[in-house]
Structure 1
Amino acid sequence: MQAQPPRIMIIDDEKVVGDMLRIHLTKHGCIVETFLSAAPALARLEETPFDLIVTDFKMKGMDGMELLKTVKSLYPDIQVIMITAFAHLDTAIEAFRGQVHDFFPKPFKIKDLIESIQRALGRPLA
């Protein structure tokens, strides 16, 4: 019996980042949906289960930390990986205290992100 492909949500207000991640993760057999802000992503989570979220830290409206706290309170089993162009030690510490699985400063290597996603899911990607 083959495992279902992982469902991954990407939330980043830079469309190019979401598109790039969607392309790479789709090549690895993932089902990926991208969002430019947190509100529509949270609405989608109410409709469809996801295994993992990759979110930007700094976004208009709800930022990545608020999103992380909301997701962890409503869906504690969903792993969250945070990416940011504003990587400061205080931000990383706050993210890990909020139970983020991993934290990547932009620019990041896609290989490193894929490895982190595999660890978060507990299985290799295709």
Structure 2
Amino acid sequence: MSPVADQPPIRLLILDDEPIVCKRLKPTFQKLGYDVETFTDSASALARLRQQPFDIVITDLKMEGADGMQVLAGVKEVSPATRVIVITGFATMETARESYRKGAFDFIAKPFKLGDLVECVQRVEKTLQTDRRTPPERQP
């Protein structure tokens, strides 16, 4: 699935302190029609989010500076409608529960198959399209 022609492209922010992850993910999502920006440090990513809204944020959990949980909280504070996908090489039941409790859309353990992450982003996109079609008075 790619963004709908009459809608602006889905804006996707990718945050991972491993540059190779950003370099691998950015072209994949650009080819699918997403407007993608990547960051390797949380401070820059959060500053950009304050300047420009994003529909979806993919963030690593364990990073220098603000970790993924702090990023998740920051995203939800600045832009509550933004969907967040947490990716991590340190997946535990507790971190997954905490991610969902703080508002994550999904939680994906590394190493992951690229297709699994693409599928997750496409699920988010479907929820965004549904939300955009739902009149405001009918939204919970």
Match of 1:51 in 2: 55
Preserved contact between residue 10 and residue 34 of structure 2 (Cα < 8 Å): yes
Q: Paired residue for 1:14?
A: 18
- Alpha-carbon distance in structure 2 between the residues aligned to 1:70 and 1:58: 15
Counterparts of 1:7 and 1:19, CA distance in 2 = 17
Residue from 98, 103, 113 that aligns with 1:99: 103
Q: Which runs of 5+ in 2 are unaligned?
A: 128-140
Map of 1:121 onto structure 2: 125
Does residue 78 of structure 2 align to residue 74 of structure 1?
A: yes
CA distance in 2, matches of 1:121, 1:21: 17
RMSD over aligned Cα atoms: 1.1
- In the alignment of these two chains, the number of paired residues is 123
For 2:137, the equivalent position in structure 1 comes to none
Q: Could you state the TM-score of these two structures normalised by the residue count of structure 1?
A: 0.93
Larger Rg: 2
- Distance of 1:48 and 1:96 partners within structure 2: 24
Residue 24 of structure 1 pairs with residue 28 of structure 2:
yes
Where 1:122 maps in the other structure, the secondary structure is helix
Code of the aligned partner of 1:51? D
Please give the secondary structure, in 1, of the residue aligned with 2:66. Answer: coil
CA distance in 2, matches of 1:13, 1:118: 24
Which of structure 1's runs of 4+ aligned residues deviate more than 3 A?
none
Q: Distance in 2 between matches of 1:80 and 1:98?
A: 10
- 1: distance between equivalents of 2:121 and 2:50? 22
Give the Cα separation in 2 of the matches to 1:92 and 1:46: 26
Q: Which residue number in structure 1 is paired with residue 64 of structure 2?
A: 60
Structure 1 residue 46: Cα displacement: 1.7
Please, which runs of 5 or more residues in structure 1 have no aligned partner?
A: none
Work out which structure has the larger RCO, using CA pairs closer than 8 Å and 6 or more positions apart in sequence.
1
Q: What TM-score comes out, normalization by structure 2 length?
A: 0.84
Secondary structure in 1 matching 2:71: helix
% of aligned pairs identical?
46
In 2, distance between residues paired with 1:67 and 1:57?
9
